[in-house]
Amino acid sequence: MFKKKLTFKILLLLIFSDILETSIQFFFKKSALAQNGFVVMDLASAAVFLKAAFASPFLWAGLIAVAAVFIIWSGILSKIDLSVAVPIASFSYILVPLVSIIFLHEKITVLRWTGIFFILAGVVLVSLSSKERIIQEK
């Protein structure tokens, strides 16, 4: 039916949706931090918490990003296998540490570098496996 080929364009879309996914976490964290120390005890205080959260522009930015990720992700799924799309989306595990190094000047331990290397190797292998299938079909 569809050509299930992992093209460079789809790879870029996947990375873009990973970046959006990361920014969603950032936005939601920001909107929650705005009410630092707030304890949700019962339904009434949960309502107050939600009301304050929805007043934060960060929450709305996060929700817009959620909608964008949904559109991009379903577009991606219409073009490639699920068993390729999901592993490659794990790229965000690499993206977040990179952002922490570059923008937050965090130190990354050797163990973490090893983990990043394993994920990267895994993503490369899964991407190659998608190409391999195309060659077999030809």
When binding is defined by CB under 8 A, the residue of 38, 55, 117, 134 that contacts other proteins is: 117
From the CB of residue 23, how many other CB atoms can be counted at a distance below 10 Å? 16
Q: Please, what is the minimum distance in Å from the beta carbon of residue 34 to other proteins?
A: 19
Residue written as token pair 């296998």: 81
When binding is defined by CB under 8 A, the residue of 102, 111, 135, 138 that contacts other proteins is: 111
CB 32 within 8 A of CB 53: yes
CB 14 within 8 A of CB 88: yes
d(CA 14, CA 81): 13
Instruction: Select from 18-26, 30-38, 52-60, 83-91 the region that touches other proteins (CB under 8 A).
Output: 83-91
How many residues make up the chain in this entry?
138
d(CA 90, CA 70): 16
**Applying CB under 8 A, does 74 fall inside the site for other proteins?**
yes
Instruction: Select from 31-39, 43-51, 53-61, 104-112 the region that touches other proteins (CB under 8 A).
Output: 104-112
**Applying CB under 8 A, does 49 fall inside the site for other proteins?**
no
Residues binding other proteins (CB under 8 A): 1-2, 71, 73-75, 77-79, 81-84, 86-87, 90, 93, 97, 109, 111-112, 114-130, 132-133
